[in-house]
Every structure is written in C-alpha cells, then in structure tokens.
C-alpha cells in the first residue's frame, strides 16, 4: 500500500528543523525574533493612569526643573500701581519695586503699630524698632510719582541702589541692597530705615489758615428753638399791625385827563387896499 505524499511546503521545513539541534535552535530564535518585531510595530502602548500622586510628582519635577527667578540690577522705574497684588518675594527681585513697596507700606495709616511694623519688615533687613514707629506719619500722605533709581558701588565693592520716591511731604530716599534670605536672594531696605521730615508731615495735618497764623473766624451762636419761635411770632404780629394801618386804595376810577385846547388859526390877510369903513360921523379933521 502506497504512503500519501507529505505537504510540499511544510515537509522540507520539518525535515530541516529536525535534521539537527542547531537547526532547531536557529528556527526557534527566528520565530521569536519575528514575533518581537511584529509586536513592536503593530502592538499598542499600555494606557497610563494618572493618579493624584503621579500628578503631584510630575508637578514637583517640573517646578524643580524650572529655573527660579533671580534678582535683577536693571533699574526699571515703577509707580505705586505697579506693585499692587504682588508678594514680598516678587517685589524683592527689583530695587525700584522694593523701594516703592516700602514707601507704600510706610505711608499706610490704616493699621495698628504692630501690623504696620510687620508689614514694613517684609521689605527691610530687620524688623523696624520703636524709633521708626515714633516717626510714623499720622496723616494721609500720597505718593505723587514714579521712582528715580541709581546704582552705587560701596567701598567694599558691594553694589546697592539709591531710590527716591516723591510724596506730598517731600522725597523719601531709600537705600536697598541684595541680601540673602530664607527664600533666596532679594533686594531689601538697609538700616537705618528712611523716614520723611516730620515738619513737612505736620504741615499736611494743619489747616492753611491756622498754619499761617491767622485767627480762625468766630462763629455766632445759633439761636435756640424757643428764641426762634418768639422772633417768628413777633415778626408775624408786626406784619399784621403794619397791614392794618396801611390805607386800602379807593376803588373809584381815576379821573380822565383833560385834553389840551386846539389852537385856532388867525385871520389870513387879503391882498389889496384896506377898505375904509363907512362911519355915521365924519372923521375929525376931514372936510
């Protein structure tokens, strides 16, 4: 009985694989290599689930990788509105903004002395003492313009900035220098801390008339309610008496004016000889 012929494609491969162990090892490695390449090309990447811890760790790595903002020696002049809403660390990166923030806190009279010292201490090397608290303004003072800054090099080679802020009570001159702090290097106001002239500040709280030595006009005392009522009743009585004594004008109509007489024209002379009138008696001396 004849044996059936094998598969013409698989039979040679099967004979080659089973021919030796070397061929078997090569075949298995080739199959695994083909499967690995196919999986890398056509396979899908696993979906990553972002848990809160994973997100926090990624944010921390991003923050650590981002370079921290450094202090700058560029003197970009600012106004009081430029520091609104900024933190002390953000303000401390520039000399003009640090000086303006100090001036803004210095003229603030809405807080108690303790709160005022704490707020002012955010921009100074040390917490202000009782000396600067005694020089604190007690009247509102407005900042009238932008800063004017200048970089100055000290005797030891350190660089500091001299900043001038204009106010109603004169110029506030602030000296700031880069100082190391727990949050990094930043500009801070140096001690002794600047203050405004107390004489100029006191002028803002004095009325112009009193400041010039003029006496204030005296005010007449206001009459009481009873006196006012008495005066009112007396005035009404006087008005009534006056109205009673004044005669009422007559209701008869005024006489009509007499018309002026019309002039009569004189006789008009008749030209020619004057006629002699006829008389009953002869004219004396006539024959």
Domain boundaries, the chain: 80-205
Q: Residue 88: how many CB atoms within 10 A of its CB? A: 17
3-state class of 151 per DSSP? Answer: strand
**Per-residue model confidence (pLDDT) at position 285:** 65
Out of 97-106, 132-141, 179-188, 257-266, which region has the weakest mean confidence (pLDDT)? 257-266
More confident position, 255 or 121: 121
Report whether 197 contacts 169 (CB < 8 A): yes
The gap from C-alpha 196 to its chain's centroid, in whole angstroms, comes to 23
**Per-residue model confidence (pLDDT) at position 271:** 73
**Per-residue model confidence (pLDDT) at position 32:** 87
d(CA 247, CA 270): 64
Statement: 80-205 belongs to CATH 3.10.450: yes
The answer, yes or no, to whether the previous bond of 287 is cis (omega within 30 of 0) is no
Model pTM score:
0.51
Q: Where are the beta strands (DSSP E) in 21-142?
A: none
Q: How large a percentage of the chain has pLDDT more than 90?
A: 31
Across 210-236, average pLDDT: 46
- Which range among 49-58, 67-76, 219-228 has the greatest average pLDDT? 67-76
d(CA 175, CA 99): 8
3-state class of 149 per DSSP? Answer: strand
**Per-residue model confidence (pLDDT) at position 216:** 43
Out of 11-25, 134-148, 168-182, 223-237, which region has the weakest mean confidence (pLDDT)? 223-237
**Per-residue model confidence (pLDDT) at position 171:** 93
Sign of CA dihedral 45, 51, 52, 54: negative
**Per-residue model confidence (pLDDT) at position 47:** 52
More confident position, 129 or 274: 129
Across 145-173, average pLDDT: 91
To the nearest 5 percent, what fractions of the chain are helix, strand and coil?
40, 10, 50
Long-range contacts of 234-241 (CB under 8 A, 24+ apart): none
d(CA 205, CA 194): 21
Predicted confidence (pLDDT) per residue in 181-220, tens digit: 777 889 999 988 999 988 888 888 764 433 344 444 444 4
The gap from C-alpha 31 to its chain's centroid, in whole angstroms, comes to 77
More confident position, 157 or 136: 136
The whole-chain average pLDDT of the chain stands at 74
Is residue 244 scored above 70 in pLDDT?
Answer: no
3-state class of 244 per DSSP? Answer: helix
**Per-residue model confidence (pLDDT) at position 221:** 46
| Residue (of 245, 169, 175, 251) closest to 206 by Cα position | 169
Is residue 175 scored above 90 in pLDDT?
Answer: yes
Out of 12-26, 187-201, 271-285, which region has the weakest mean confidence (pLDDT)? 271-285
Angle subtended by helix axes 95-106 and 113-120, to nearest 10: 180
More confident position, 134 or 256: 134
């Amino acid at each position: 009985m004849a044996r059936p012929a094998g598969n013409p494609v698989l039979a040679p491969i099967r004979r080659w694989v089973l021919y030796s162990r070397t061929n078997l090892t090569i075949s298995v490695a080739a199959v695994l290599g083909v499967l690995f390449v196919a999986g890398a090309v056509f396979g899908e990447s696993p979906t990553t689930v972002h848990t809160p811890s994973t997100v926090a760790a990624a944010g921390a790595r991003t923050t650590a990788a981002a370079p921290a903002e450094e202090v700058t020696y560029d003197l970009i002049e600012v106004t009081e509105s430029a520091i609104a809403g900024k933190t002390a660390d953000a303000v401390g990166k520039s000399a003009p903004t640090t000086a303006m923030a100090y001036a803004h806190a210095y003229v603030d009279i809405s807080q108690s002395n303790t709160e005022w010292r704490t707020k002012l201490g955010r921009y100074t090397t040390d917490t202000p003492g009782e000396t600067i608290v005694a020089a604190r303004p007690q009247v509102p003072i407005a900042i009238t313009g932008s800063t004017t800054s200048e970089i100055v090099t000290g005797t030891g080679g350190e660089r500091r900035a001299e900043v001038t802020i204009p106010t109603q009570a004169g110029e506030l001159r602030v000296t700031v220098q880069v100082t190391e702090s727990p949050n990094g290097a930043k500009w801070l106001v140096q001690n002794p801390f600047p203050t405004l002239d107390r004489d100029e500040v006191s002028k803002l709280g004095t009325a112009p008339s009193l400041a010039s030595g003029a006496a204030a006009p005296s005010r007449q005392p206001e009459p009481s309610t009873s006196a006012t009522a008495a005066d009112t009743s007396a005035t009404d009585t006087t008005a009534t008496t006056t109205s009673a004594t004044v005669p009422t004008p007559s209701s008869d109509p005024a006489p009509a004016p007499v018309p002026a007489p019309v002039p009569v024209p004189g006789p008009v002379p008749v030209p020619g000889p004057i006629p002699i009138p006829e008389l009953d008696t002869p004219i004396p001396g006539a024959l």
